[in-house]
Amino acid sequence: MPSQQPQLGSLAVQAPLLTPKTVHVTPSTCHDLSLFKDLLNEYRKLDDSITMRLNRTTAQFRDRDRMGLGGKGNVEDQACAQIWRELVANWKRRTEIVEYCVSVVDKSMDEKRSSLATGEYDPASQRQIQGALFAEEVKRNQVHNELTVETIVRRRSLDAFRSRCKYFEPPFSEADARKWWDAAQAGR
C-alpha cells in the first residue's frame, strides 16, 4: 500500500523512509558562516533536483492512478501541485532562516557599535572592538548576500518547474502559494 505522501529524491530509491533531522537555528548558527551556508545548501537540494523530483512524483502519481488510488484531476497536474507545495514550504523555511540570521547579525553589530560609541574603553580595547565590528560587517554582508542567492535559486527553480508544468497555477484558495507564485514570477 503506498504511503500518503510520496517519497521523493534519491533517498527514496536507496532506503526506506528516513526521518528528517530537525535543526534548531540559534544565534550561534548564524554566527558560524560555514554551518549557516551548509544548512542553506541542504535546504536548496530540493531546488537543485527539481527536474528529477518532478519525474519521480509524476511516475508515483501515475502508479497510484493505475492502481485506482489516484486523486481527482490529471496525474501531471497532481504531481505539479505536490512539487509546488514542497517548493513553497522549502522557500518559506529558507527565507525565515536567512531573515532570522540577518536580524541576529545586525543586532550583534548594533551592540558593538553602541558599546564603541560610549567611549568607555582604552585604545587597545577600542581597537579590539573595532576589529570585531569589522568581522561582523563581513559576516553581515555574507548573510545578506544569501537573500540575493535565494532570489536566484527560486527563479531557476521556477523556470525548471514551468518548463514541465506549463499550465499550472496555484489555486486562488491557497493564498500563501499564490504569494510565492507572484513573487517568483516577478523575480523576487
pLDDT along the chain (188 residues), means of 10: 42 44 81 90 86 83 73 74 87 90 90 80 82 88 90 88 85 77 72
pLDDT (0 to 100) of residue 3: 43
Q: Is residue 159 part of a domain?
A: yes
Number of domains in the chain: 1
Residue closest to 147 by CA, chosen among 91, 108, 185 = 91
pLDDT (0 to 100) of residue 100: 92
Residue closest to 83 by CA, chosen among 149, 16, 14, 180 = 180
What does the buried/exposed string (b/e) look like for 113-148 if buried means 16 or more CB atoms within 10 Å of the residue's CB?
A: eebbeeeeeeeeeeeeeeeebeebeebbeebeebee
Q: Is residue 16 part of a domain?
A: no
Q: Is residue 14 part of a domain?
A: no
pLDDT (0 to 100) of residue 169: 81
User: What would the grid cell of residue 152 be?
Assistant: 536566484
Q: Is residue 68 part of a domain?
A: yes
Q: Is residue 37 part of a domain?
A: yes
pLDDT (0 to 100) of residue 21: 63
Residue closest to 80 by CA, chosen among 154, 166, 5, 7 = 166
Q: Which helix (H) or strand (E) holds 8?
A: none
The residue range of the domain holding 74 is: 30-186
Q: Is residue 111 part of a domain?
A: yes
Q: Which residue has the cell 551556508?
A: 37
Q: Is residue 6 part of a domain?
A: no
The answer to whether 129 and 38 are in contact (CB under 8 A) is no
Q: Is residue 157 part of a domain?
A: yes
**Residue 143 CB-half CA count within 13 A:** 28
pLDDT (0 to 100) of residue 70: 60
